[in-house]
Amino acid sequence: MPLYKINHTTRYSYTDTVIDCVNQIMLYPIVDGLLEVRNHQIKISYDPVVETFIDYFGNRTGVFSVIKPHTNLLIESVAEVFTKPIAFPMDEMKASDQWELLKKLKIQTGFIDFLKPEVFSSGEDLKSILKEVFHVEKTPIQNASLLSEYVYNNFSYKKGITSVETKTEEVLKLKAGVCQDFAHILIILLRMIDIPSRYVSGYICPKGKEMRGIGATHAWVEVFIPNYGWLGLDPTNNCIVNDQHVRLATGRNFADCTPVKGTYKGSGEHILEVSVDINSESAKKSSEREGSPGFSYEAKNPGAPVNSYRNYQEVQQKQQQQQQQQ
Local confidence band at 154 (pLDDT 50, 70, 90 cut-offs):
very high
The predicted structure's pLDDT at residue 195: 97
What one-character DSSP code corresponds to residue 105? Answer: G
Give domain status of residue 89, yes or no: no
CA-only gyration radius of the chain, Å: 21
pLDDT for residue 296 is more than 80: no
Three-state DSSP state, 35: strand
**Does 212 share its domain with 268?**
no
Whether 136 and 275 map to the same domain: the answer is no
- Whether the per-residue pLDDT at 301 is higher than 70: the answer is no
Identify whether residues 182 and 209 lie together within a single domain.
yes
**Residue-wise DSSP of 216-259:** S-EEEEEEEETTTEEEEEETTTTEE--TTEEEEEEESSHHHH-S
**Quick one: which of 278, 276, 262, 267 has its CA closest to 12?**
262
Q: Are residues 130 and 55 part of one domain?
A: no
Residues 217-233, mean pLDDT to the nearest whole number = 96
* Distance in angstroms (rounded) separating the CA atoms of residues 44 and 76: 6
Q: Do 156 and 67 reside in the same domain of the chain?
A: no
Nearest CA to 166 out of 157, 177, 158 is that of 177
Question: According to the model, what pLDDT value does residue 238 have?
Answer: 93
Separation between Cα atoms, residue 93 and residue 97, nearest integer Å: 7
The reported pLDDT for the residue numbered 213 is 78
- pLDDT, average across residues 285-299: 36
Mark whether 65 and 159 lie in a shared domain. Answer: no
- On whether both 140 and 233 belong to a single domain, the answer is yes
Identity of residue 227:
N
Answer yes or no: is 161 within a domain: yes
The CATH number of whichever domain residue 307 belongs to comes to 3.10.620.30
> Total domain count for the chain?
2
pTM of structure: 0.84
Confidence of residue 317 (pLDDT cuts 50, 70, 90): low
Mean pLDDT of 111-133: 86
* 53 found inside a domain: yes
- Shared-domain flag, residues 63 and 99: no
Q: Are residues 114 and 37 in the same domain?
A: no
How many residues are given for the chain?
Answer: 326
Per DSSP, the three-state class of 303 is coil
Q: Are residues 116 and 245 in the same domain?
A: yes
Assess if residue 306 is contained within a domain: yes
CATH code (residue 75): 2.60.40.2250
90 inside domain: no
SS3 57: coil
* C-beta separation of 236 from 182 below 8 A: yes
Q: Are residues 226 and 104 in the same domain?
A: yes
What distance in Å separates the CA atoms of residue 256 and residue 284, rounded to the nearest whole number? 33
Residues 45 and 130 both lie in one domain = no
Q: 282-301 b/e with 16+ CB inside 10 Å = b? A: ebeebbeeeebbbbbeeeee
- The answer as to whether 68 is a domain residue is yes
Residue-number span of the structural domain to which 33 is assigned: 3-84+257-285
Comparing 14-18, 208-212, 319-323, the range with the smallest average pLDDT is 319-323
Please check whether residue 174 lies inside any domain of the structure: yes
Share the mean pLDDT of the chain: 86
Categorise residue 208: left if φ over 0, alpha if ψ from -120 to 50, beta otherwise.
left
φ/ψ region of 71 (left if φ > 0, alpha if ψ in -120 to 50, else beta) reads alpha
Which tops the pLDDT comparison, 239 or 325?
239
The 10s digit of each residue's pLDDT in 33-78 is 999 999 999 999 999 999 999 999 999 999 999 999 999 999 999 9
